[in-house]
Amino acid sequence: MSTIYRALTIAGTDPTGGAGIQADLKTFQELEVYGMSVITSLVAQNTTGVRAIHHVPLEFIDQQFQAVVDDIYPSAIKTGMIALPEMMELLQQQLHSHKNVPYVCDPVMMAKNGDPLLEKHVRAKLRETLVPLATIVTPNIAEAEDLIDMQIDDIDDMEKAAIRIVKELGAQSVVVKGGSLTGDAVDVFYSRETGLFKLDAPRTDTKHTHGTGCTFSAAICAQLAKGIRLLDAVQKAKAFTADAITWSLQIGNGYGPTNHWGHRLNGLPGKNVNQ
């Protein structure tokens, strides 16, 4: 029997399926990786916004994690939005005990427009606990600005921020996502081993980008679970996410979800599945 690669996501939910745990599991499945999950928060949200959040008790988060690692040990792990400092402290202990497993930290702290999703002291706790353990961190522009307290206006600033996140915060590598800037969608990758790389993709004119960050980080996690080297994993995840945005589903009354099977349509005519 061939090797079954396994990925674990630790995050909140999205009942409409575009982001969070649901988006992560869809991404794992599309990339032929067996997906598992630990739920930290139950989120009542849709494409128009968040309505309510119910946080899972710490003891039960710990029980979920132990149930996974005691039975089906993950080949890679990712975290999404971790809402409370005590959750971060718990996950710091858990991840430190499994340092042999590649860990993708999606620091879901700030919206694409720069609005904070977590309070300042919670964001500081994320910098102290989870970021230093990460194989790779995947901030958007606003999150990168918050992580190292600098303004980012262009690609040169993105490169400076990427280097600082690794050297000052202790992560092994980082990809700063440039989706909120103008022009092509350029991300900046940096690690101590490989240095700086730019990852380009044509920009698709669409508002349907809900869950893009979750999908991207989950795709990196899936590739790392397969044993793909880090830079290649990021490049493959970039292409997967670009296809998910290009092949828009055009559903929902707000900012609709990406299309997780878009990569299967790559090369065909058209920009959305409804054409």
User: Mind telling me the catalytic residues?
Assistant: 177, 209, 211-214
What is the side-by-side strand order in the sheet with 34-46? 49-55, 34-46, 6-12, 76-79, 103-105, 136-137, 173-176, 187-191, 195-199
Strand segments (E) across 1-149: 6-12, 34-46, 49-55, 76-79, 103-105, 136-137
Q: For residue 155, what are its two tokens?
A: 């690609």
Bridge-based pairing state of the strands 103-105 and 173-176: unpaired
Paired with 52 in beta bridges are 44
Biggest CA–CA distance in the chain, Å, is 51
Q: How far, in Å, CA of 192 to CA of 185, rounded?
A: 24
Q: How far, in Å, CA of 227 to CA of 131, rounded?
A: 21
